[in-house]
Amino acid sequence: MPIPKQIAYNKAKAELGKKLFSEPMLSKDGSVSCASCHSLSGSGANKTQYSFGVDGQQTATNASTVLNSAFNFSYFYNGRADTLKQQIKDSITKEDGLESSMDEVVSKIQNSAYAVEFSNIYEDGVTPQNVVEVIAEFEKALITPNSKFDRFLRGDDTALNAQEKRGYKEFVSTGCVYCHNGVNMGGNMYQKMGVFEPYESEKMASSRFDVTKRERDKNVYKVPSLRNIALTAPYFHDGSVKTLKEAIIKMREHQLGVTKKVKSTANIEAFLKTLTGDTPAILKGDK
């Protein structure tokens, strides 16, 4: 499914949320913001293997892109948040996030110029719910439509060249599409990392098991979106893979049991590069 060209959201709330997304005041010590791990200047993710929070604390996972996150069915690799709002609150309050509390955040905002902006939107002004809502509204607006593949899905057969079309067919026939499908080409199911070949990480990232406590959910993670994948290196939940080509090879090995060298790698890589969409309108200042 193509990413919609537009999505409905409250522009006043989103513009305020945009400011707070990059506001380090929301963190415990004023040192980091949401944008510290989710860069808005390119991929919506992080170029480092792991993210760093308050006091330079290193996380155990690579930061997922925040672009097109409104289309995901859950949030964080272990799926511990069901909604954008829950994801934002969790990111503000958890130790591997901004390590603050909603009461602290509200107090800081009430004593800042942002308080007036909240009063212009909400009758009750600055509240924990309203803080979370404006940031969620901003994240909702971060869609990247009009990729080459989107134009192809809408009927423009010339949007993809011959190699990219071969890559799309091989993406489907190889089995990649079983997990990477839907509007976000991922983000809509959980899957074990290492279906055919066990996958080892240098850190034990929190998996679905930590949420459900079911034995079968060990090493199970939310399938990430492939949208803008050419921009979001390093790859995998542990950020251990540096190139898109290597990611394709390792996915084929660990998830599909294909260990021999195949010629389709270059074609699939070419196809994946067609998933890069336009910069979100709200980041360009478009209304």
pLDDT value for 286 = 61
- Class in CATH terms, 11-143: mainly alpha
Do 11-143 and 148-275 show the same overall fold? yes
CA distance 159 to 153: 9
Measured CA to CA, the distance from residue 208 to residue 79 in angstroms comes to 7
- Per-residue pLDDT at 265 exceeds 60: yes
Q: For position 176, what pLDDT does the model report?
A: 95
- pLDDT at residue 287 above 60? no
Query: So what's the pLDDT on residue 50?
Result: 87
- Give residue-wise pLDDT tens across range 10-43: 999 999 999 999 999 999 999 999 999 999 987 8
What would the pLDDT profile of 61-110 be if each residue is shown by its tens digit?
899 999 999 999 999 999 999 999 999 999 999 887 899 999 999 999 99
- Is pLDDT of 181 > 90? yes
- pTM of structure: 0.94
Domain boundaries, given as residue ranges, for the chain: 11-143, 148-275
pLDDT at 52: 80
Q: What is the pLDDT of residue 99?
A: 93
Query: Which of these, 111, 136, 141, lies nearest to 126 by C-alpha position?
Result: 111
Give the model's pLDDT for residue 68: 97
CATH of region 148-275, choose from 2.60.40.10, 1.10.760.10, 3.40.50.880, 3.40.190.10? 1.10.760.10
Q: Is the pLDDT of residue 44 over 70?
A: yes
Task: For residue 106, give the H/E element and its range.
Answer: helix 102-110
pLDDT over threshold 80, residue 261: no
Q: What is the DSSP string of 153-194?
A: HTT-GGGS-HHHHHHHHHHHHHTGGGTS-TTTTSSS-EEES-
What is the chain's mean pLDDT, rounded?
94
Q: What per-residue confidence (pLDDT) applies to 140?
A: 97
Q: Percentage of the chain with pLDDT > 70?
A: 99
